[in-house]
Amino acid sequence: MAAASTLTVAPAQAVAGDPATDNLYAFTAKIDIGGIRACSGALLNNQWLITAASCFVDDPAKAGTLTAGAPARKSTATIGRTDLTGETGEVREIVHLVPRQDRDLVVAKLAAPVYGIGLLHSAATAPVEGEALKGAGYGRTKNTWVPDRLHAASFTAGTVQDTTVNIDGTPVCKGDTGAPTFRENDGRLELVAVTSRSWQGGCLGSEETRTGAVAGRVDDIRTWISESTASTLTRWKLQMVTRTSTGLYHTIRDSNGDWTGFGDVQKAAGTVQDVSYAADAAISGKNYVFALGGDGRVYQANRRATGGWEAFRDITNEIGVLPGSTVRIAVTSTGNGLALVALSGGRVYHAVQDPAEKWSSWGDVTGKLGVLGNATEVTVSQTSGGQTHIGVVADKKAYHGLRNADGTWSGWGRVSNLPTGLDAVNTMAFAGTGSDLQIILSSPTGDIKHAIRSADGSWGTFGNFSGKLGPHQPAVSMDAAAVDGEFQAAVLTADGRIKHTLRHANGKWDALDEPTGYPGTATMVAITGSTS
């Protein structure tokens, strides 16, 4: 078999696929090795690619001889530029290689992170013979020697071996070595294998008729990929809790963008009957999870930094019983303690846990700041300086209240009076990043806006957030958190999908990311940032 090259998603009658459109496969990289060889690859996280080791050795048949370290020749990757004649996307030098010895695979570190380009996470399950797969690459086509467009292709999985899978369908040509082969799973793409070598039947300049190819599997080496790319990890993680139709579940996203599987919180920390809502916050590496039971009582469980859980306990006797029906809770870290808020009987209440984990009784925030009619949502966050910010949605309008570091309160400010661009608000979330408060608001029709409130109380421009989350869908639940000084947001949309993105400290946004694997249908989501 000859060295492999270009992939394409195309009708069966097309020989070398069709140009990819709408940046659907923007995670695909065009790799140039010293100006003498071209390959393809895929973006695993902001600073790492995966491709074929054979791209970086003089004899592609000796991929196993590649050693870790800087490439022998200056190598660059162009990512997010599906039309190579344009200027979109990013170009980065490849500065470090970590090869896999038992298959034609290598992970490649970029000199600097890239932002705003979707990632391709590794599949957790092996391909099966006969499975429909797709691929994307920048290699040769049936009639173009050096294409300037990304192409996409359809394949069928053949024989699955310990480290490889055979694929056949659209021809794989020179320049497609290292290209991703992926599946669609519930509307999400996941990396199944990396193209290694092919017969090149149907490629320009080849008289071969066979179109089969071999690709290196990735589903069984996800741990190796995580460990090999760990040099860019920080101590910070995002922790997420979601309530679904089957229970309460927890996952963690590391700073490289990898998600753990969803774990059953109640299996680990004890059952709370008929959980109606949940919230979480963290102090250092310890995650505090709160559940509002069907009995209207509040329960607290703690997940240690080491991973074990302290069981749910009923804290209602410590904080008190609220009048009316409690419908929402929210919580934030205050540095060495917690601030818990609740929406009950149309009023907002506030309690504090001190560093010794002793709770104060509920205080009536509404009594201090005034009554808001028909309140339906509440959010809370703290900014540096000890200010606790409480947000409330009432009568489809957004309000902001402030508890100062000295314990005094400032009255409700009507966020909806600002030029938000929304006629009505149904959900809201706060996150404090340093002295700034970052906010997202959503409308019942699915428009979402983001803005920043500075320490002096001034508000920045409300920018469009909806476009960062893919297809337009109303938000049924959302939360935000500060993680290592960066703003992260999770939105549960009406179609039952949890969508995540983050705003870096430099103001650049990451592309949409979606955690998967939670049992049942998600009904709410909560997130927090923690250290390891």
Chain-wide mean pLDDT for the chain?
92
Span 69-74, average pLDDT: 98
Query: Same domain for 385 and 321?
Result: yes
Query: Same domain for 172 and 30?
Result: yes
CA–CA distances in Å: residue 436 to residues 125, 479, 528: 42, 17, 17
Number of domains in the chain: 2
Q: Which of 16-20, 133-137, 391-395, 442-446 has the lowest mean pLDDT?
A: 16-20
Give tens-digit pLDDT for 194-233. Answer: 999 887 777 877 777 777 899 999 999 999 999 999 999 9
Span 248-273, average pLDDT: 96
Query: Same domain for 183 and 328?
Result: no
So what's the pLDDT on residue 8?
Answer: 40
Q: Which of 228, 263, 281 is the last residue of a domain?
A: 228
Query: Same domain for 80 and 170?
Result: yes
Give tens-digit pLDDT for 472-531. Answer: 889 999 999 999 999 999 999 999 999 999 999 999 999 999 998 999 999 999 999 999
Query: Same domain for 112 and 224?
Result: yes
Local confidence band at 140 (pLDDT 50, 70, 90 cut-offs): confident
Q: Which of 184, 203, 228 is the last residue of a domain?
A: 228
In the chain, what is the straight-line distance between the N-terminal and C-terminal CA atoms, in Å? 46
Query: Same domain for 163 and 305?
Result: no
% pLDDT > 70, the chain = 95
The answer to whether 241 touches 289, Cβ cutoff 8 Å, is: yes
In sequence order, what are the residues at sequence separation of 6 or more whose Cβ sits closer than 8 angstroms to the Cβ of residue 509? 115, 116, 468, 501, 502, 503
Identify the three-state secondary structure at position 378: strand
- Residue 442, token pair as written in the block: 């959503």
Indicate which CATH number applies to the domain containing 410: 2.120.10.70
The answer to whether 350 touches 362, Cβ cutoff 8 Å, is: yes
The size of the chain, in residues, is: 532
Backbone angles phi, psi at 92, to 5 degrees: -135, 145
Local confidence band at 108 (pLDDT 50, 70, 90 cut-offs): very high
Identify the three-state secondary structure at position 445: coil
How far is Cα 360 from Cα 530, in angstroms, rounded to an integer? 24
Query: Same domain for 264 and 158?
Result: no
Q: Which of 228, 251, 271 is the last residue of a domain?
A: 228
Give tens-digit pLDDT for 462-482. Answer: 999 988 887 788 999 999 999
Give the global pTM.
Answer: 0.91
Local confidence band at 9 (pLDDT 50, 70, 90 cut-offs): very low
The answer to whether 41 touches 179, Cβ cutoff 8 Å, is: yes
Q: How would you label 46-70 residue by residue, b for 16+ Cβ within 10 Å and e otherwise? A: bbbbbbbbbbbbeebeebeebeeee
Span 64-82, average pLDDT: 96
Query: Same domain for 107 and 241?
Result: no
Indicate which CATH number applies to the domain containing 90: 2.40.10.120
In sequence order, what are the residues at sequence separation of 6 or more whose Cβ sits closer than 8 angstroms to the Cβ of residue 195? 4, 7, 40, 52, 135, 137, 167, 172, 176, 177, 178, 179, 180, 181, 213, 214, 215
Query: Same domain for 222 and 241?
Result: no
Query: Same domain for 354 and 450?
Result: yes
So what's the pLDDT on residue 171?
Answer: 76
Query: Same domain for 268 and 342?
Result: yes
So what's the pLDDT on residue 209?
Answer: 75
How far is Cα 500 from Cα 497, in angstroms, rounded to an integer? 10
42: left (phi over 0), alpha (psi -120 to 50) or beta: beta
Domain of 522, in residue numbers: 237-531
Local confidence band at 21 (pLDDT 50, 70, 90 cut-offs): low
Query: Same domain for 166 and 187?
Result: yes
Give tens-digit pLDDT for 321-363. Answer: 999 999 999 999 999 999 999 999 999 999 999 999 999 999 9
Give tens-digit pLDDT for 170-181. Answer: 778 888 999 999
**DSSP letter at 148?**
S
So what's the pLDDT on residue 405?
Answer: 92
% pLDDT > 90, the chain = 83
